[in-house]
Structure 1
């Protein structure tokens, strides 16, 4: 199977034929702007349905309307091209699928910063400080989430209407080392590459915990202390892969990888919980009873263990059969968004789910029925992060780590009751492992399998549905809602093709190369957690794309400088003045004889670094030091550096 492409005389893409024969054709106006997308599906029996999406443009090429089978969306801009509104009107077919009329509106200040976002779920208001950092987020009910910062611009405190949620303390490199979480204080340590090396949550106050950063204190001695209910340590190999975790609540887990970085095994020390994996050349997971050279036709998995799958002509999963008793069916709108799911067990309807989305594709509501119990939820978004979840009589506000999809805390408000604050304790990529209350008691605790399915729910006093970063667990289907797609944690893949096509990688169903180190919060394209935040990079005027093999991000700044990030690490080789191997790196910036910079200066082939223009960069192999321009090093951020 192959991909094929056709171009016009102006070198514009006019046709794409995917490995499963799904065909996309593109039409342009005289200005070179896309005006029509014609899609031709390919079904299991050779059927070829067609559908069109039309794009209307104004005189300067801006998108002013998008029209498809389900709805018409109109876009309005101000004089400097900022989006002011999106208004949607459903068609008759769209109404049958639950598409509703809606209008999203946006307002900005004189500096172009977003100040107001009006949705059907309510209004969000934004206030900023002198450094254009968000200082106050006003929720639809009037509550205010306040952000306090250090002079460096790094977050110091989150509070809700003055009630402190968390205080953060940072080291000289602005990395978080302490975080208050109710009666617990969480502490974090880092290795020479700036990766998380250990973390624990203690009932001791922060001033009693400062000793853990003394050189003479071995943090492993703290694992068994009663005042540390949560403690984890992480060990990495020279390639930067996580190879071992030691967890007070879960024991020791070891990981092995293929030479190309794919996860090969997870070893818990016993048959229970241990896993091994096999893949075909397109990274589809294979059963161990498959032949050595088996491949998955068209990347549409037909069978996985005791499960069988069927797809519609657009490549969407429409049927999943588990064993002899369970059958799930899925229905979609014309933009491949899941709108309805049904589960039958032994021929009897067990559960249903109906899902609704806004004009930006974000899920704003769901109604589920499980064994006759009806559940209704509404969701409010801040950009592409879920901010609020509402059920009749209760609301939850989610707060996240800065520039991240790792949840930090949530504030629950039940009708007629006071607020309850719960704190997340996450792993190295931001997946919640524990939830504690303000007293420091664990109210939710889970152990996961490698690809995100929960293996054991040890404590479940409070419902907690966040999973991998950007994912939300739906109990009625067992799937994880992943912003622009749904993810199946059993098979470790998405149930529809990538909405951004090959820009997200060559296998359109693949989640990530390695779920231990990579994340995909939007369901578009995977990235290692230690590479720059894509959204913030784009906001600053840079561009980002992924090389076709799906493992290397390429960032270009607003001045045209380009840095590749193979496996999430910056390749500064084109900019380096010199490179030197230095023994026993500590991850510091000291220029004294024992500091990393001082040792590099002493051993460097071209002598001491020119600190007026350059700095030393710690290579990810934890051995090499590269002298590179300060501007490049500071701008193209990475693990151990300051986040954008």
Structure 2
């Protein structure tokens, strides 16, 4: 008897049927949509496998793709051929190629936009990234891999200094030095950018003076403080450029309000049980169906049978139309004002689903852009005669700096200054002058741009705003900051949460750089580790350890339970000890070991009862900095799952 999923009927009646070969590998996906008039269109995807079960071909309405591997099962190439329908959507022929060293590390990535080269140190830390134009981004480390410097062809972009817990405390940014302080949970407590040179700040720090006292000095053009509640939610920020902002939350961690001290900038929110945003109007409850919001404030929405937003009407004058390929990727967008075309966008993607080109037309002006990627991070943005190179904080999608080149003018370096979750708030030049500054509403819409000498399009981590639509491109989906949700359903389905359009419970502590499951998202062990969960640098953590379930005789040692409730964690929150955790706090596994030891248990010794075991594992999550609301929800799911296995009704 197999426990493989054969059919999925979603809350909006969209049906997905899965077929497998004798080896248990997916070979066919049949989808049956459900339209506004109950129409049921179908589409089909075929997956061809070799004798080892590896995917060698993927065929759908728009394209056929073939995959080649080396003897070590490493991907060597992806080739794409568009169908007639695909060509009409702008899809082109393409080949991506990869090369590896003897240790299996990626050394070369060949794309239609050029070749990226990778070099590593003996610990497999990336030391040199060679760009298609020959420039080299160099990474210098200390210890086991803590970044100490970034330079471009020897020109220092940024030097970093870290404390005894290896947390970044200083960062040079041109003539400014940014300083960071942390609370006991490793969360950012304050930051400032100072005109004092780094060596002076380091001397002050080493004398034992409380560096946080320097935050509000006049020679700091940028400074802010952060305050959190016992559940780990951000409740207050103090910002030199933005003043004081307070936040309140629902019991489940959803953002309830943002208070700026004025009626104009303050916001309040309410939600239904599936986290859909609602107006403060009881009739709104009648308008939310199947998580496909039809109306919110002065906006009206229409969807295609696959759940993709195809029309958005704002007020009486503005109308937007959206067109998608058969993999739900936005390929065309049009904005009409009073019936006249104001703007249009055309978008192209590579075989990995990354957007590699766009053409935008606004009031008759046409702009062409191409994008180069390093993995799933946008590395370069290119327009005729100009390009922008983006550099990021290590292991993050939070931008650190960008290097602009204009033909005939050389290059300029600009530095990002972000908030506690990596959203850009300011951009400074090499002289420390603010050239771009933004204030946002809660869900990422720009409230104001007091300074905009330089165009800056990055928003929440992993997001890029398209001025022709006002939407944020979010790697695998598009995000609408006006309503705080995605235009299309989550590619990973229920593993991203019960609401396929939801961004996050709150935008003050959560990020979703790829439009998939985000940090602290709840799902199942099988789903969060499955093929649909495209590489997002997150790992599934079970609250009920599989070995405990075996000990309780409700599971077998040989087979992990795919349905075991789990939470998506990054390495810091999951497996790292305080010495390697960038927050200096330690992950859930480390804290779990400490708690077990304090109770006389070994690392792999388990408590005799469900209650005591859950107290240990949930306590470890809280100590690792996971929000209390997430731990509580996961604990409820784990209890329910255990009872379904054991047939018990008690705990």
> Aligning the two structures, in what range does the TM-score lie when normalised by the shorter sequence?
0.7 to 0.9
For residue 58 of structure 2, the aligned residue among 53, 61, 66 is 66
Q: Which residue of 1 aligns with 2:349?
A: 357
Q: Which residue of 1 aligns with 2:540?
A: 544
Note the C-alpha offset of 1:460: 0.3
Distance in 2, Cα, partners of 1:463 & 1:549 = 46
Q: Number of residues paired by the alignment?
A: 578
Q: How big is the alpha-carbon RMSD for the aligned residues of Structure 1 and Structure 2?
A: 3.3
For residue 553 of structure 1, the aligned residue among 538, 559, 567 is 567
Distance 1:195 1:179, change over 3 A: same
1:570 aligns with 2:588: yes
Query: Matches of residues 326-365 of structure 1 in structure 2 within 5 Å?
Result: 326-365=318-357
Q: Which residue of 2 aligns with 1:488?
A: 480
Distance in 2, Cα, partners of 1:212 & 1:517 = 31
Distance in 2, Cα, partners of 1:151 & 1:534 = 31
Note the C-alpha offset of 1:272: 1.8
Distance in 2, Cα, partners of 1:345 & 1:523 = 29
Distance 1:310 1:63, change over 3 A: same
Note the C-alpha offset of 1:210: 3.0
Distance in 1, Cα, partners of 2:135 & 2:428 = 23
Q: Which residue of 2 aligns with 1:595?
A: none
C-alpha offsets along residues 121-167 of structure 1, whole Å, 9 cap, x if unaligned? 11000001111110000000000000000123100000000000000
C-alpha offsets along residues 269-326 of structure 1, whole Å, 9 cap, x if unaligned? 1112110000000000000123596572100000010000000000000000000000
SS of equivalent residue, structure 1 residue 81: coil
SS of equivalent residue, structure 1 residue 207: helix
C-alpha offsets along residues 538-565 of structure 1, whole Å, 9 cap, x if unaligned? 99999527999999615699xx9999xx
For residue 257 of structure 2, the aligned residue among 260, 265, 284 is 265
Distance in 2, Cα, partners of 1:443 & 1:323 = 33
For residue 94 of structure 2, the aligned residue among 102, 119, 129 is 102
Distance in 2, Cα, partners of 1:228 & 1:84 = 50
Contact 1:517–1:528, Cα closer than 8 Å, also in 2: no
SS of equivalent residue, structure 1 residue 518: coil
Contact 1:538–1:544, Cα closer than 8 Å, also in 2: no
1:89 aligns with 2:81: yes
SS of equivalent residue, structure 2 residue 501: coil
Distance 1:211 1:550, change over 3 A: farther
Distance in 2, Cα, partners of 1:71 & 1:292 = 41
Contact 2:519–2:570, Cα closer than 8 Å, also in 1: no
Distance 1:499 1:100, change over 3 A: same
TM-score of the aligned structures, taking structure 1 as reference length: 0.84
Distance in 2, Cα, partners of 1:362 & 1:351 = 23
Distance in 2, Cα, partners of 1:322 & 1:397 = 35
Note the C-alpha offset of 1:410: 0.2
Distance in 2, Cα, partners of 1:423 & 1:396 = 12
1:325 aligns with 2:317: yes
Give unmatched runs, 5+ long, in structure 2: 522-527, 544-561, 578-585, 605-614, 627-651
Distance 1:312 1:11, change over 3 A: same
Distance 1:348 1:236, change over 3 A: same
Note the C-alpha offset of 1:190: 0.6
Q: Which residue of 1 aligns with 2:49?
A: 57
Note the C-alpha offset of 1:389: 0.3
SS of equivalent residue, structure 1 residue 503: helix
1:194 aligns with 2:151: no
Q: Which residue of 1 aligns with 2:380?
A: 388
Q: Which residue of 1 aligns with 2:465?
A: 473
Which has more helix, going by share of residues? 2
For residue 462 of structure 1, the aligned residue among 445, 451, 454 is 454
C-alpha offsets along residues 413-446 of structure 1, whole Å, 9 cap, x if unaligned? 1111111000000000000000000000000000
Q: Which residue of 2 aligns with 1:374?
A: 366
Distance in 1, Cα, partners of 2:411 & 2:177 = 20
Q: Which residue of 2 aligns with 1:256?
A: 248
Distance in 2, Cα, partners of 1:463 & 1:542 = 31
C-alpha offsets along residues 160-181 of structure 1, whole Å, 9 cap, x if unaligned? 0000000000111100000000
Distance 1:577 1:300, change over 3 A: closer
Q: Which residue of 2 aligns with 1:585?
A: none
SS of equivalent residue, structure 1 residue 419: strand
Q: Which residue of 2 aligns with 1:36?
A: 28
SS of equivalent residue, structure 1 residue 344: strand
